[in-house]
Amino acid sequence: DKPAFSCTSFEQAQQENQAIIDIIRSHAGQGGSYSQIAVLYRTNAQSRLFEERFILSNIPYRIVGGVNFYARREIKDLLSYLKTIDNARDDLAVRRIINIPKRGIGAATLAKVQGYANEHGISFYQALRGAPEIPSIGRAAAKIEPFVTLIQAMRSKAGLIPVSALLQEIIDTTGYIEELEAEGTDEAKARIENIEELQGKVLTYEEKEPEPTLSGFLEEVALVADIDSLDADSDHVVLMTLHSAKGLEFPQVYLAGMEDGLFPSYMSITSDNAMEEIEEERRLAYVGITRAMERLAVTCAKQRMVRGETQYNKVSRFVKEIPQHLLEEPVP
């Protein structure tokens, strides 16, 4: 049986959030379990409103994220390098590794870079690349340059060498294992073993995948890490990005923020490779839509606060591409 499917448009994001909260409360009030429900969204930032409202409404929830092996410091560091080389869209990953190894880039400098990124609506890494243009950054730009040069050099190799070789090069260039060996503690030894385990994971991925890629490996890692953190015994609503939802299914799925400009993102729509990037996001939309076993509710808001500005968006083109006969009512 096909899941019941609806699409609702709200005036504001807050109303969208509240409507989903109300449905979840009603579901629980009728004896339904929270764990039957997943709320999916395109960007991590979208979780904030849901989290705040879930807390105020006393609804138990969990954000699915990296745990266990993938939460260990050295693994997060090396994966952050791989993520930054892959697309540098994850600001947290870039910030995590900017001083690994130590480069003497201080908190005040990082704050200036972040401010510049926010002001120009660009990623943290893009701001690092333009560091000499940042006012008042001064001599700190010279400390940032070697990091950017390293990432750009690794990027040029990423499509030419296997992921395992790329990871090895990161380990060698950063001196990560050398530093741990010099430490000589049991903890350092355990960390080296973790790194070796990660290298083994990469090799296993390369062996079984007909066309292994850095992006593919990172997606697989994200999927494993996310499933590990899903405790089937406890009753809570699951909040997660669409990327984290791959491979999972839920009776009820709420796919929020389905607007042009958010999903597909404004960056994708206006990119030089717009067709390619939108196609990639279309595949992600398909992932979200197919997570629902019994009910799928797609929601969007005409008005949403993004990066401190109010944006006015139309319903996502991906929703309009869904055959209308599958909907309980026409797309608004």
What is the C-alpha separation between 246 and 233, in angstroms, rounded? 21
Q: What is the DSSP letter of 212?
A: -
Structure tokens that stand for 276 in this block: 């390619």
What is the C-alpha separation between 125 and 113, in angstroms, rounded? 9
Write down the pLDDT at residue 2.
65
> Are the C-beta atoms of 51 and 239 separated by less than 8 Å?
yes
Write down the pLDDT at residue 225.
55
What is the C-alpha separation between 264 and 40, in angstroms, rounded? 14
What is the C-alpha separation between 331 and 326, in angstroms, rounded? 11
Write down the pLDDT at residue 282.
93
- Block means of pLDDT (10 residues each) for the chain, 332 residues, are 80 91 92 92 74 78 61 88 93 94 92 93 94 87 94 93 95 94 83 81 86 92 58 76 86 93 86 88 91 91 72 89 70 58
Write down the pLDDT at residue 111.
93
What is the C-alpha separation between 318 and 75, in angstroms, rounded? 35
Rounded to the nearest 5°, which phi and psi values hold at 62? -140, 135
Write down the pLDDT at residue 227.
45
Residues 330, 40, 272, 165, CA torsion sign: negative
What is the C-alpha separation between 74 and 68, in angstroms, rounded? 12
pLDDT tens figures, 188-233 = 877 887 788 788 888 888 988 999 999 999 988 887 555 444 455 5
Answer whether 0.75 is exceeded by the pTM: no
Q: Is 250 helix (H, G, I), strand (E, B) or coil?
A: strand
Q: How big is the CA angle at 19 (ends 260 and 14), to the nearest 5 degrees?
A: 60
Rounded to the nearest 5°, which phi and psi values hold at 133? -90, -10
Note every long-range contact of 130-139, with CB atoms under 8 Å and residues 24 or more positions apart, other chains counting.
Answer: 136/112, 137/109, 137/112, 137/113
DSSP string, 8-67: EEEEEHHHHHHHHHHHHHHHHHTT--GGGEEEEESSGGGHHHHHHHHHHTT--EEE----
Write down the pLDDT at residue 306.
63
User: Quick count: other Cβ atoms within 10 Å of Cβ 30?
Assistant: 7
Query: In whole angstroms, how far apart are CA 139 and each of 84, 109, 136, 152?
Result: 24, 10, 9, 21
Write down the pLDDT at residue 148.
95
> How far is Cα of residue 84 from the mean position of the Cα atoms in its chain?
12
Residues 69, 74, 79, 80, CA torsion sign: positive
Write down the pLDDT at residue 68.
44
> Are the C-beta atoms of 193 and 186 separated by less than 8 Å?
no
